[in-house]
Amino acid sequence: MTATARLTGRYLAEYARRPINLVLLVLVPLIFVVLASGTITDFAKVIGFTGNAGQLSAPTAGWAAAFLAGVAGFFQVLNSRDADRRLAAAGMGVRRIVVSRLTSGLALALLAAGASIAALLFRTGITDPVRTIAGTVMFVVIYLGIGVAVGSLVRSDINGSLIVIFIWMFDVFLGPAMAGSDFWITRLFPSHFVTLVMLNTAAGHVSSISNLGWALLWTFGALGFAAAVFCVTTSTRKGRHAAKRKRAGWHRLIAGLRYGLRDYRRNIVLWVLLVVLPVIFISLSFYITPDKPTPVDLTENGISAVKILSLANVHGAIMVPITLAFLAGLSGLFIVQGSLEADARLAIAGFRPREILSSRLGTIVAASLLATAVSLGVTSIDFIPEDWGWFIAGNVLVAVTYGMVGVLVGVLFGRLGGLYMMFLLPFIDVGLAQNIMFSAAPPGWGVILPSRGAVRVLVDAAFTPTFDQLGELILALAWLIVLGAVTAVIFRRIAKPKRA
């Protein structure tokens, strides 16, 4: 037991070597819960939620802590896979390693949970502490299990991150607190019953097992499954090391773009995630959202007025930029993070910073445009915007803008810290500050965030036949120009140290 405790302490010390990760582990849930809790409460009242009004914001604490727990568990296992196998082979024992990893992951998850609960207490108060605390702990245990299981099975950081993030997105955006409905398919989501327990509301189906019973089954089942998978993969001593070949072409810009796309294309799982997940996510948003009337503030022919629209159409339309912001941001984060050393070597080989920049951004834009095309295609099945041209333009602006944001966040915070930030920024910006589902008009504070102009353009195109958002279009282009300029400076610095 002493050896297990010592090993757990070393795992935690390993995580703390980058202090920014610990800071973000506390800061991200604080910001998320403070900004999200009030908005979710107002939205739940709009859609006619009949549960305990004081508990409406409680799930936001679980959401924030769950994401951080899942990501922390994933990277803890992914980054130490070979080291854990060597420790097991050296006599440490698989069981001890599994217990230590899960214990250290749980300690980090509970730290995030504590920050989330403290933020909720500060922002809205807690009317039922037992349900709120127990529910948040169940959230983090479930997602710790998901993160550890994905980290044990998936070798790629971007693939595994996307899997964890999209499980979380399905769970939150299509769950009972956000979508305001209870369909059979949503009962398959990990936190469905935990959310019902936190909201103190009855399930919309008959079962011999209570909401609490199902929630506990998910909690212990996720942890047990993660332990079993981690145990098996840690015991397996086989490993594959992919050989990466670097080649140069006559035209350096085209060569950099071509080989960047080729490396990206070889990642079949990534393309499946980029194509399949938006299809499922957006389709389900139309399917499960109740067709209730909701007010939206729109401008037509220069005249502002509040229109009553279908909540299902509003939800489906706004899911497109939300999906694209997450996908493009993660693409920017991981493409640049995965190529830092290669870009430095390209600089030694004679590539100019602008050529490196163009090839990397070209890859990011290509991935963003693919996700945009797929998202718009599936949206067209259930919803036809009033003006396709500007609707497409607005979504492309969101995707490219967040591709740039992903680059900057990755350079500033690294992979793990960057992933924490790429959870916070798109959700707070596109998911809350620009989301017309929650109020007739987006809040004023959202004007300082990157997607304000682009989302207003696409919302205008979705529900009015005339274009009345010239100022918002200029704002969106200004964000894109500024982010592009900062990104160019970053790429120049990436190349410069190796060229001397």
* Per-residue confidence band for 240, with pLDDT thresholds at 50, 70 and 90: very low
Asked whether residue 127 falls in the same domain as residue 273, the answer is no
Asked whether residue 192 falls in the same domain as residue 47, the answer is yes
Asked whether residue 359 falls in the same domain as residue 298, the answer is yes
- The residue from 211, 238, 265 where one domain ends is 238
Asked whether residue 375 falls in the same domain as residue 467, the answer is yes
Residue 452 scores a pLDDT above 90: yes
Mean pLDDT across 14-35? 77
Mean pLDDT across 224-253? 61
Asked which of 3-12, 267-276, 292-301 is least confident by mean pLDDT, the reply is 267-276
Among 223, 226, 220, 227, residue whose Cα is nearest residue 96:
227
Mean pLDDT across 399-405? 91
State residue 255's pLDDT score. Answer: 54
Over the chain, what is the mean pLDDT? 79
* Per-residue confidence band for 42, with pLDDT thresholds at 50, 70 and 90: low
Asked which of 28-32, 128-132, 283-287 is least confident by mean pLDDT, the reply is 283-287
Contact 178, 42 (CB under 8 A): no
* Per-residue confidence band for 272, with pLDDT thresholds at 50, 70 and 90: low
State residue 433's pLDDT score. Answer: 87
* Per-residue confidence band for 446, with pLDDT thresholds at 50, 70 and 90: confident
State residue 239's pLDDT score. Answer: 44
Q: How many distinct structural domains can be found in the chain?
A: 2
- The residue from 238, 262, 282 where one domain ends is 238
- The residue from 220, 238, 256 where one domain ends is 238
> Per-residue pLDDT tens for 77-118?
887 777 777 777 776 677 788 888 888 888 888 888 898 899
Asked whether residue 131 falls in the same domain as residue 1, the answer is yes
* Per-residue confidence band for 474, with pLDDT thresholds at 50, 70 and 90: very high
* Per-residue confidence band for 133, with pLDDT thresholds at 50, 70 and 90: very high
State residue 249's pLDDT score. Answer: 39
Asked which of 302-306, 412-416, 450-454 is least confident by mean pLDDT, the reply is 412-416
State residue 45's pLDDT score. Answer: 56
Asked whether residue 305 falls in the same domain as residue 187, the answer is no
- In angstroms, the CA 363 to CA 331 distance is 9
Among 237, 299, 281, residue whose Cα is nearest residue 463:
299
> Per-residue pLDDT tens for 407-445?
888 888 887 788 888 888 988 899 888 888 777 778 888
- Look up residue 419 and give its two tokens: 């992933």
Asked whether residue 178 falls in the same domain as residue 305, the answer is no
Residue 500 scores a pLDDT above 50: no
- In angstroms, the CA 356 to CA 340 distance is 11
Residue 476 scores a pLDDT above 90: yes
Asked whether residue 193 falls in the same domain as residue 65, the answer is yes
State residue 144's pLDDT score. Answer: 92
Asked whether residue 166 falls in the same domain as residue 285, the answer is no
Residue 36 scores a pLDDT above 80: no
Asked whether residue 200 falls in the same domain as residue 250, the answer is no
Residue 456 scores a pLDDT above 90: yes
As a whole-number percent, the residues of the chain with pLDDT over 70 amount to: 78
Residue 232 scores a pLDDT above 70: yes
Asked whether residue 285 falls in the same domain as residue 223, the answer is no
Q: Between 354 and 246, whose confidence is greater?
A: 354
Asked whether residue 231 falls in the same domain as residue 274, the answer is no
- The tally of CA atoms less than 13 A away on the side-chain side of residue 426 is 31
State residue 248's pLDDT score. Answer: 40
> Per-residue pLDDT tens for 44-56?
555 555 555 556 7
- Structural domain of residue 206, as residue ranges? 1-238
Mean pLDDT across 457-474? 93
State residue 246's pLDDT score. Answer: 39
As a whole-number percent, the residues of the chain with pLDDT over 90 amount to: 16
- In angstroms, the CA 104 to CA 110 distance is 10
Mean pLDDT across 21-35? 80
